[in-house]
Chains A and B, each alone.
Chain A
């Protein structure tokens, strides 16, 4: 058995779903052929078993020849063992075929995810990509898996037809034409059954959504009431779903009955014709038994053929989805001859007029948080439409970020925004993805004031973080994300609202420590918190159209720029309005108006 996963999934032909499947098949043709070979032996040995039983009855039993009986029994046993042996080999090849294709699909998507980076979520919904990992891999694997049995089915069908034709032409024709006809005759029933099943599935998923809705809102329901209403609503939907299930059962049971009736009718016909031949002396009693055996056996290859057809259809649908993802191109192209990023350079944006001197801690403030968030993205070359206005400037000149290899940009500039995801895994690896070491990590934890988060975990840094860090609260997650960004210790660090979800005590602490830790390194913080702004070297204040309109120390801007003061102390711009509300606005968690500063 070949070892998986492959080191590299290779470059797929994603020009069409069919081609993708063929490309995959070509990559595993040896095991596919092996599977087909054993599939043929396996099903073939089942196909000839009725003939052997027939001979055993004729030559051994009916002829009262114990030697021949023993001989044919031995043949039967040998055939059975061959079937068992080839069966398990076929299975092993089929599993390998399934795994090779399924794993390779996952790897292809994984590599494409890595290649696209931030472009991916802009182009496709995550659900679409994730579906590849849950269901599409199964369908693509499935078609590779069934191929071994399909090969056996085709060969054994031909084999049995041949045997029957040589015994009796009418009988052979009856099998060759009758069996496919039988399969087709179920067709008219399938359409309405599929319709009802689809209806049932839809109701089931609707019901699951309702249950999920109840669980998601359980705090509300237990907190303010309404359990009875939801219990009744669920019960109502559950009964509707049950009735849909009964409607499916009405048809499904007919189909089940037909699966007894149709092969049964076929067997009756074959036995009838065979028995008349036997009476006429054309065939022996043993051959009659064999005919019965063929008639029952033939249902297997037929079913396999149907299964193959279904799986090919499903695999094509899945392959189409994979092709769609594989065809995407990253927004940020790698220049053909990338320049080398200078170290110790100022970060300059010509469009906004922002200049971040090397080694300084600069805050970005704007009335519209989207403006500064977008500017942060541009500084890190992570927007959908990169431009060459963002440059690294030193004594030797200016280098636009777009002239660099994107990987080189990532090494120099790190943007940690509010949407930053926390990955699962050992906390130490999660917080120190680049392997900077425990000393750096400890410093970062202290700076982000996140030591208590780690201390509360029994295993500390060896704690395994669950999916998306869900077990942490919003504030804890935010401090861990900040820790990670600080541990990476990039030359230029851009932080977007790094402390929006932590309390004022902690925020004040983080602000001071951040300035200490990043001393001598270039840092940009998008924030509007006075506690954070108080700790930075310099503030750049942007207008809503994205231009830097004022810059300087926080305290200077507070006194000199009224618009800045209005944004930072939020709410002072419509003071009159406020005074009317004053008696109402007692308790809020949002910064509104420290009237002292406005005065």
Chain B
């Protein structure tokens, strides 16, 4: 089966979405931004007042004057603190709001993923997006973005304040720009790949360690414990190479930043001093300007440091938005099926162009008939099953119910016709009732749910649970045994009530000791429905109305059990071997 990766949104789409998000909360955004601006302005009063103080001290002053200035400083400190409180509060409230919208959008998009994508893509990629990307985005929205915005506001205002002391301050500041820009460009061009490499090596260490631990028994049995250790050492060595690479980047980048910060401060003091000696500026101005330039270091450093965190956040956002980009796999027409008869006519199918898996399969399934599909793995049984369940449309030919192609039906209608039953039997975290109600229509009553449980022979244990149907089950709740979980899955089918079921190894991984009990539950579900069962075991085939042997993407043999045994083909040979009848020769090698 081809595992196709889910799409990732491109740069412009991410930017559009970010702008759109910001626009949804204009007032909160404006309030938070203006509070941050005012808070930053209050902070900038301090160097200016300190400059005044130095000026006053130098030219001679009284304690009263000092007291007044210090009181003023204290006033601004308090104002800055109060403003900071509300600015931070508003931006965090905004952040939480935006984050909630983002993750809810993502989950809604996930829940709307086309059914063929859900069956194909595997849950790994989606799971990573759900856990890691939502997490990373949370960090970005909660911390990185606000901190970055604050740093930008502070930096811009500080530059403005410094220039307000005198235009000459620009000169030493400009000296810092070349090392800053050159260093930053050089670093950012390499940092992203470098850190991605680095974090990938830690994932690798983790994977190896996890596998060694989870597979400790296997590694021990195979006697490959030492080889696993060497693997771990190799992973560490690779991680060390990545760490050394990023460290080399920082070894060049950090000092270039330090110099970019240092030169303007020294330059301002030097130039200011020079101008003071020449009588062009006051001592207070020199002090104020130097302090401003020094104050610039913090926010600029913050802007630089958060830059790659923002990149990480944007990448996560792109992956989350990508889920919404999966095109729908079916366009429902308003054709209504006439009757319940499922028909396969000369169906061909390929997952990848040029590699056909089914080469013209026709299957005439009677209403209420039970058909068993057997055949070697890779023959196309599961693929045929998916076509029958309306997950994929055939690439040629047709798969219809009541004369309408299955993939022409809206998903909600399709569910009322056909259901695919697999080994998977997920129990959701929640009450047992919730686990069942999801399959029932909106009008389902308590009685319907109890009847469904009773039909699959599960009502007894369900009622015996501490809180009956209201018992929390699934992750974090009470663990159901695998047979119980399977029964819950079967009860859902009773509630969904499709007239045709496609069983793909539905019970093959069940504990053999519970198998008999489950078979009865299953039988109750199958009662009165058309069934196509993909089976590994021959007993099931024996009991079916007709058996289809699938080989190499074709129906090789099709008929009742007795007909096939009489025909003496591969099915007959297997059946004989199964029963220990040695007068029939062993199954031919396919």
Contacts and interface: CB of A to CB of B under 8 A. Distances in A.
Pair from one complex: yes
B512 interface: yes
B246 to A, nearest CB: 9
B580 A530 contact: yes
Contacts of A268: 70, 73-74, 77
A76 interface: yes
Interface string B455-491: 0000000000000000000111000000000000100
Interface string A420-441: 1101110000000110000000
Interface in B377-434: 377-378, 411-412, 415, 419-420, 422-424, 426, 428-430, 434
Contacts of A191: none
B212 A110 contact: yes
A590 B510 contact: yes
B312 interface: no
B539 A289 contact: no
A186 interface: no
Nearest to A66: B277
Given A264-B77, A587-B543, A589-B536, 19 more contacts: A69-B270, A84-B259, A113-B209, A116-B216, A130-B213, A133-B210, A208-B130, A209-B429, A213-B475, A218-B111, A242-B97, A253-B86, A256-B88, A268-B73, A421-B214, A434-B222, A467-B211, A589-B540, A590-B539
B227 A254 contact: no
The 3 nearest A-B residue pairs measured at CB = A226-B438, A117-B220, A421-B215
Contacts of A57: 54, 269, 273, 283, 286-287
A572 to B, nearest CB: 12
Interface stretch (A23-31, A87-95, A349-357): A87-95
A62 B577 CA distance: 107
Interface string A107-122: 1011101111111110
B contact face: mostly helix, strand, loop, or mixed = helix
A43 interface: no
A396 interface: no
A466 B247 CA distance: 30
A303 interface: no
A465 to B, nearest CB: 10
Given A212-B131, A229-B434, A587 B123 contact: no
A591 B541 CA distance: 10
A228 B543 CA distance: 39
B97 A588 contact: no
Interface string B272-294: 11101100000100110011000
Most chain B CB within 10 A, of A84, A91, A586, is at: A586
Given A5-B237, A220-B424, A256-B88, A77 B262 contact: yes
A382 B93 contact: no
A411 interface: yes
B126 A218 contact: yes
A363 interface: no
A80 B415 CA distance: 72
B515 A590 contact: yes
B127 to A, nearest CB: 5
A91 B240 contact: no
Query: Interface range on chain A: under 10, 10 to 19, 20 to 34, or 35 or more?
Result: 35 or more
15 contacts: A57-B287, A61-B269, A61-B273, A66-B273, A84-B262, A114-B212, A213-B475, A216-B426, A218-B110, A227-B112, A410-B222, A466-B124, A501-B536, A586-B523, A597-B580
B523 A585 contact: yes
A9 B270 CA distance: 54
B590 A509 contact: yes
A471 B125 CA distance: 12
A118 B233 contact: no
Given A64-B277, A589-B536, A288 B54 contact: yes
A215 B130 contact: yes
B255 A85 contact: yes
Contact of B63 (A221, A276, A368, A452): A276
A474 interface: yes
A235 interface: yes
B320 to A, nearest CB: 11
Interface in A197-250: 204, 207-227, 229-231, 233-235, 238-239, 241-242, 245-246, 248-250
Contacts of B364: none
A60 B269 CA distance: 10
A9 to B, nearest CB: 10
B503 A113 contact: no
Interface string B429-452: 110001001110000000000000
B221 A380 contact: yes
A106 B205 contact: yes
B223 A530 contact: no
A598 B104 CA distance: 59
Nearest to B3: A471
Nearest to B210: A130
A230 B439 CA distance: 12
A571 interface: yes
A222 B118 contact: yes
B107 A211 contact: yes
Contacts of A256: 84-85, 88
A445 to B, nearest CB: 14
Contacts of B113: 218, 222
Contact of A226 (B100, B439, B578): B439
Contacts of A117: 216-217, 219-220, 225
Contacts of B439: 224-226
A581 interface: yes
Interface in B357-378: 370, 372, 374-378
B218 A114 contact: no
Given A419-B217, A587-B522, A204 B138 contact: yes
Most chain A CB within 10 A, of B108, B210, B510, is at: B210
A531 B580 CA distance: 8
A475 interface: yes
B273 A56 contact: yes
A11 interface: no
Interface string B37-69: 000000100100010011001100111001101
Nearest to B219: A117
A596 B214 contact: no
Contacts of A220: 424, 426, 428, 438, 489, 492
Given A211-B134, A213-B428, A503-B377, A279 B66 contact: yes
A166 interface: no
Nearest to B259: A84
